[in-house]
C-alpha cells in the first residue's frame, strides 16, 4: 500500500501528536478560598494550566487522534499497488478509412495482445477498449473518418499512465497502413512523449478508387470573374472532374457530380450558397483558413452555415473566428461543395498565391475519394523511434487515481467527530446545568 499524497498523513501525525501533548496540559481552577474583599481582585479567567504525566480525558484523546488520523489518511488517499509484471503493450489499431481490410488489423492486434495490455482503436480519435478485448476487436469495423496518429498517440500515452503502476516497461504497437493523411504537424512532437521504439505492424491501405487522370477545372462564371482567374492559375492538378458554378447550382450539376464522381463547387457570386443563410448585416472577416493556406484579406461575409447544415458535412475552409466558410457533402460517387466566400472583383486577391491555394483546396478531390499515399520514410522512421521499450517512470502517474479506502476513512472521521461531540457534551453536561459556582467548604479556606 502506498499513499498518493503522503504529506497529508505526515501532517495528520503531527496534529495527533499535538493533541496528545495538549491533553497532557490540563487546565484547572486553583484552590478555592474565602476572602470578603475578593471584589478588589482583578476579574481574570479563573483557571491555571498545569502539566500532568497522564493524559486527561483518555477517551476524548483517543477519539480526537482517531478523527485526525482518519481524516489525514483519507486525504493522503492510500492505494494498494499490486505486484508488477515486466512488460505491457499499448496496441493502437487503425480503424480509419485508410485501412482497407480491418480483419487484417484485427488479427495483427490479436497476435500481439496479452492479458493486461491496453488496446486503443483509433480513427480521428482514440478509444480504449475496456474488458473483453478480443471480442471487442472482432466487433470493430472501419469508419469513414480520417485517421489521426496524433490522437492515437495521445490515447497511448494516457493508457501508459494507467499501466505504469502494474508493469516495469511498456511497448507501443501500431497496427495501421500508416497513410500520409494520418500524419499532421503535431504527430512528431506527440510521438516524442513516448520514449523508446514502437513496433510498427503495417496492414494494407485503401486502394485508390478514382482514376489518376488529371482533369481540367470547368468553371461556369461571368467573363471577369476573379475565381475564374484563380482557377486558371491552379492548372491541371485536379484528380477528379471539377465544376465550379458561380451562377447558381442546379439539379443538373448535382446529378453530374453524383454520376461522374466529380466535384461540383457551388460558389455563387450573388445568390445564397446551398445550405447557407444570410447575415442580417454584412459581417467582415480578416482571414480565411483551409488545410493548405491562410488568406488574409478583407472579406465581407454575407452568408453563414447554420449548425444543421454543417452536421454530417466536412468543413473545407473556415473563417478566422472558426465559422465554416466552405463545406463538403458526399453526393453519389462525387461530392458537392458549398462555398460562402465572397470575392471582390477589385484588387489582386484572385492572383495571390494563397488564394490560388485556397481555390486548389476547394477543387481538390472529394474527401472520401482521396488516394492512399504511404507515410514518407522520414515520418515512418520518426514514428518507429529507436532504443528499447519505454520504462514505467517515463509516464506520469495518473492524477485521477482514486483511493477505494478514502471514502470509508472519511466516514470513519465523520463518525468519530460525532462521537467526540457527543462525549464532550456529556462530559460538560453537569457543569452546564449548574451555573453557580460550587460551594466552598471550610477546609478549602486559606487562613
Partner 1 sequence: MVRWSIAGRSGGGMRDAEFDFAPVLDSVRGIRWPARSAVRGGIPGTHTSRLRGTSAEFTEYRPYRQGDDLGRIDWKLFARTDRAYIRLSNDRAILPTTIVLDASASMAFPAGSAAKWKLASELAIGLAAVARATADPVGLCIAHEPARLQLPPRTRQSVIREMIRAVSEVEPSGSAPVSPSLLAATRVSGRVVLITDFLGDADDLQATAARAVAGSREVHAVHIVASEELDPSRETLLVADPELPDVRRPMTRDSREEYLTAFASWRDQLSHALSDAGISYNVAVPGIETADHIVRRVAAGRVTAALR
The binding track of 381-420 with respect to partner 1, each residue x by CB under 8 A or -, is: ----------------------------------------
Q: Does 431 bind partner 1 (CB under 8 A)?
A: no
Rounded to the nearest 5 degrees, what angle is found at the Cα of 371, between the Cα atoms of 366 and 372? 135
- Shortest distance, CB of residue 45 to partner 1, whole angstroms? 8
Cell of 390: 519505454
- Judged by CB under 8 A, the stretch of 127-135, 251-259, 405-413, 435-443 that binds partner 1 is 435-443
Is 32 or 405 the residue whose CB approaches partner 1 more closely?
32
Longest Cα–Cα distance of the chain, Å, equals: 125
Pairing mode of beta strands 334-339, 263-266:
parallel
| Member of 47, 52, 345, 386 binding partner 1 (CB under 8 A) | 47
- Shortest distance, CB of residue 32 to partner 1, whole angstroms? 5
- Shortest distance, CB of residue 57 to partner 1, whole angstroms? 22
Q: In angstroms, rounded to a whole number, what is the distance separating the alpha carbons of residues 106 and 173? A: 13
Cell of 273: 450558397
Q: In angstroms, rounded to a whole number, what is the distance separating the alpha carbons of residues 401 and 407? A: 13
Is 40 or 400 the residue whose CB approaches partner 1 more closely?
40
- Judged by CB under 8 A, the stretch of 76-84, 105-113, 123-131, 437-445 that binds partner 1 is 437-445
Q: Does 426 bind partner 1 (CB under 8 A)?
A: no
3-state secondary structure of 297: strand
- Shortest distance, CB of residue 433 to partner 1, whole angstroms? 17
Q: Does 446 bind partner 1 (CB under 8 A)?
A: yes
Of the candidates 305, 312, 354, the residue with the CA atom closest to the CA atom of residue 335: 312
Q: Does 447 bind partner 1 (CB under 8 A)?
A: yes
Q: Does 281 bind partner 1 (CB under 8 A)?
A: no
- What is the per-residue DSSP string for 349-363? GGGSHHHHHHHHHHT
Q: Does 434 bind partner 1 (CB under 8 A)?
A: no
Is 80 or 441 the residue whose CB approaches partner 1 more closely?
441
Determine the size of the site formed for partner 1 (CB under 8 A). 27
Of the candidates 319, 315, 306, the residue with the CA atom closest to the CA atom of residue 278: 306
* CB-side neighbour CA atoms (13 Å) of 206: 24
3-state secondary structure of 10: helix
Q: Does 31 bind partner 1 (CB under 8 A)?
A: yes
Cell of 155: 490515447
Contact of 327 with 303, CB cutoff 8 Å: no
Is 29 or 103 the residue whose CB approaches partner 1 more closely?
29
Q: In angstroms, rounded to a whole number, what is the distance separating the alpha carbons of residues 49 and 244? A: 95
Distances (CA, A) of 385 to 155, 188, 345: 18, 10, 51
- Judged by CB under 8 A, the stretch of 37-45, 75-83, 137-145, 291-299 that binds partner 1 is 37-45
| Member of 36, 82, 312, 429 binding partner 1 (CB under 8 A) | 36
- Shortest distance, CB of residue 29 to partner 1, whole angstroms? 5
Cell of 236: 491541371
Q: Does 32 bind partner 1 (CB under 8 A)?
A: yes
Is 38 or 81 the residue whose CB approaches partner 1 more closely?
38
Contact of 360 with 337, CB cutoff 8 Å: no
Q: In angstroms, rounded to a whole number, what is the distance separating the alpha carbons of residues 220 and 246? A: 6
| Member of 38, 185, 311, 346 binding partner 1 (CB under 8 A) | 38
Site residues, partner 1 (CB under 8 A): 29-48, 436-437, 440, 442, 445-447
Amino acid at each position: 500500500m502506498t499513499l498518493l499524497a503522503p504529506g497529508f498523513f505526515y501532517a495528520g501525525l503531527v496534529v495527533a501528536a499535538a493533541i496528545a501533548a495538549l491533553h497532557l496540559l490540563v487546565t484547572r481552577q486553583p484552590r478555592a478560598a474565602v476572602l470578603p474583599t475578593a471584589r478588589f481582585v482583578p476579574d481574570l479567567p479563573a483557571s491555571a494550566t498545569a502539566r500532568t504525566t497522564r493524559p486527561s480525558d483518555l477517551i476524548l484523546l483517543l477519539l480526537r487522534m482517531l478523527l485526525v488520523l482518519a481524516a489525514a489518511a483519507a486525504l493522503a488517499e492510500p492505494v494498494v499497488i499490486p505486484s508488477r509484471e515486466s512488460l505491457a503493450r499499448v496496441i493502437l489499431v487503425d480503424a480509419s478509412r485508410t485501412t482497407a481490410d480491418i480483419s487484417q488489423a484485427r488479427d495483427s492486434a490479436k497476435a500481439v495482445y496479452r492479458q493486461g495490455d491496453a488496446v486503443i482503436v483509433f480513427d480521428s480519435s482514440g478509444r480504449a477498449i475496456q474488458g473483453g478485448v478480443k471480442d471487442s476487436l472482432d466487433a470493430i469495423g472501419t469508419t469513414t473518418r480520417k485517421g489521426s496518429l496524433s490522437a492515437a498517440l495521445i490515447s497511448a500515452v494516457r493508457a501508459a499512465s494507467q499501466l505504469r503502476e502494474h508493469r516495469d516497461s511498456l511497448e507501443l504497437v501500431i497496427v495501421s497502413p500508416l497513410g500520409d493523411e494520418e500524419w499532421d504537424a503535431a504527430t512528431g512532437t506527440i510521438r516524442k512523449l513516448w520514449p523508446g521504439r514502437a513496433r510498427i505492424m503495417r496492414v494494407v491501405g485503401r486502394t485508390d478508387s478514382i482514376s489518376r487522370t488529371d482533369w481540367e477545372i470547368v468553371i461556369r462564371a461571368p467573363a471577369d470573374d476573379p475565381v475564374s482567374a484563380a482557377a486558371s492559375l491552379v492548372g491541371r492538378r485536379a484528380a477528379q472532374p471539377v465544376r465550379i458554378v458561380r451562377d447558381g447550382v442546379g439539379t443538373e450539376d448535382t446529378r453530374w457530380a453524383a454520376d461522374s464522381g466529380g466535384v461540383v463547387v457551388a460558389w455563387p457570386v450573388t445568390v445564397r450558397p446551398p445550405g447557407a443563410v444570410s447575415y442580417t448585416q454584412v459581417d467582415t472577416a480578416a482571414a480565411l483558413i483551409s488545410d493548405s493556406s491562410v488568406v488574409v484579406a478583407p472579406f465581407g461575409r454575407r452568408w453563414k452555415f447554420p449548425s444543421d447544415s454543417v452536421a454530417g458535412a466536412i468543413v473545407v475552409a473556415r473563417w478566422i473566428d472558426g465559422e465554416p466558410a466552405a463545406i463538403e457533402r458526399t453526393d453519389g460517387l462525387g461530392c458537392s461543395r458549398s462555398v460562402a466566400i465572397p470575392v471582390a472583383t477589385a484588387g489582386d486577391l484572385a492572383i495571390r498565391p494563397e488564394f490560388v491555394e485556397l481555390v486548389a483546396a476547394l477543387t481538390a478531390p472529394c474527401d472520401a475519394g482521396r488516394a492512399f499515399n504511404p507515410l514518407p520514410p522520414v515520418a515512418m522512421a520518426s514514428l518507429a523511434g529507436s532504443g528499447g521499450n519505454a520504462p514505467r517512470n517515463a509516464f506520469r502517474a495518473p492524477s485521477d487515481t482514486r483511493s477505494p479506502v478514502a471514502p470509508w476513512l472519511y466516514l470513519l472521521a465523520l463518525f468519530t467527530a460525532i462521537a467526540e461531540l457527543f462525549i464532550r457534551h456529556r462530559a460538560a453536561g453537569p457543569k452546564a446545568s449548574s451555573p453557580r459556582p460550587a460551594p466552598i467548604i471550610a477546609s478549602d479556606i486559606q487562613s
